[in-house]
Amino acid sequence: MDTIPGHGGKAKPIVLIVDDSPDVHRLLGARLRHEDLQLFSAYDGRQGLDMAHALRPALMLLDLEMPGMDGFEVIRRLKDDPKMLETPVIVLSGLQSPQDKVTAFDLGAIDYITKPFDLMELRVRVRSAIRIYALLEMLAKRANIDGLTGLYNRAHFDSRWAEQVASAQRYDRALTLVMIDIDHFKSLNDKYGHPAGDAVLEGFAEILQTGHRQSDIPCRYGGEEFAIIMPSTAPMDAMPLCERIRQSLAGTTWPRHPERGCTASFGVAGAIHAVNEPPVKWLELADRALYQSKQGGRNRITLIDLSEPPRLAKAG
């Protein structure tokens, strides 16, 4: 799964210091060196913005009075960028007028500390800001996770799928979408109960988690339907992965109903280069391929290649 910027894996949270004074950087580096942080330095507003976009810091410590782009403009541009909107900013400034503070807070700063500052107080405020950021990141991540399977949910799929289609069109890259539906799932629930059905959904999610490549994005699309977004992947290259997943599910024995196995049908839509089709069209074609798999007897894979004239290829 994707890692959280600034908190990926076990990486320490990143704090970006943006100040034109080398003395401030040395002072903060010395006083914060024992904190569980990674410190980075920028010496003007433009450099600070560029580094913020590259690093996605957990916190920015920002001076207001800098040559060229001042701190107010840095905050304004950060908050105008949807990808950087949630970046916390603590202002460290020699400006002490109430109007300057009001302006900074109105623009989106979370705290304002005047120079010269108390270093113990600064450490406490830095810790608090990073803790709040981490909690917000965790909540945002959980909002995109399906509670039963642990896969990304439909909301996350919708946003990532639109991004991937746009990226494939912009950079002329291959892209493949896989839609998967567990066969006869309703009858499984009706005969063995919903706990048995939930166990199958969880088990299939584990198969997807262990079987997909790092670049793939497996999601629970809804109910017993799943999706895999496969960036930079030609449709024919997606077929072996789908086949491994299909065989793995078909070969699984379920403790609640060992006498009854489970299978899934697959619909694959992809292209080896950019195609001028909106995200919804790809979904329609993947659903059409999935329907063909169902109509053809289930437990099989059907491919529609958007790079070529309409045709269907079946496997499984």
Which residues are the active-site residues? 224
Strand order in the sheet with 38-42: 38-42, 14-18, 59-62, 89-93, 111-114
For Cα atoms 116, 108, 81, give the angle at the middle one, nearest 5 degrees: 125
Question: Do you know the residue count of the chain?
Answer: 316
Q: Where in the chain is the domain with CATH 3.40.50.2300?
A: 14-143
Homologous superfamily of 14-143 in CATH? Response regulator (3.40.50.2300)
In order along its 316 residues, the chain shows pLDDT tens digits of 233 333 334 578 999 999 999 999 999 999 898 898 999 999 999 999 999 999 999 999 999 999 999 999 999 999 888 788 889 999 999 998 999 999 999 999 999 999 888 888 899 999 999 998 888 888 877 889 998 999 999 999 999 999 999 999 999 999 999 999 999 999 999 999 999 999 999 999 999 998 888 899 999 999 999 999 999 999 999 999 999 999 999 999 999 999 999 999 999 999 999 899 999 999 999 999 999 999 999 999 999 999 865 444 445 5
Contact criterion met (CB below 8 Å) for 94 and 71: no
In the chain the first and final C-alpha atoms are separated, in Å, by 28
Contact criterion met (CB below 8 Å) for 32 and 123: yes
The DSSP result for 148-185, as a single string, is TT-SB-HHHHHHHHHHHHHHHHHHT--EEEEEEEETTH
Q: Residue 110 phi/psi, 5° resolution?
A: -95, -15
| CA–CA distance, 168 with 185 (Å, rounded to integer) | 34
Contact criterion met (CB below 8 Å) for 274 and 283: no
Query: What single-letter amino acid sits at 114?
Result: T
Tell me which residue of 306, 291, 196, 209 sits closest to 253, measured CA to CA. Answer: 196
What pLDDT score was predicted for residue 10? 54
What pLDDT score was predicted for residue 5? 36
What pLDDT score was predicted for residue 309? 55
Say if domain 154-315 classifies as CATH 3.30.70.270: yes
What pLDDT score was predicted for residue 136? 84
The reported pTM is 0.63
* Residue 145 DSSP code: B
**In whole angstroms, how far apart are CA 116 and each of 42, 60, 97, 109, 233?**
20, 18, 15, 19, 55
What pLDDT score was predicted for residue 4? 33
| CA–CA distance, 140 with 310 (Å, rounded to integer) | 40
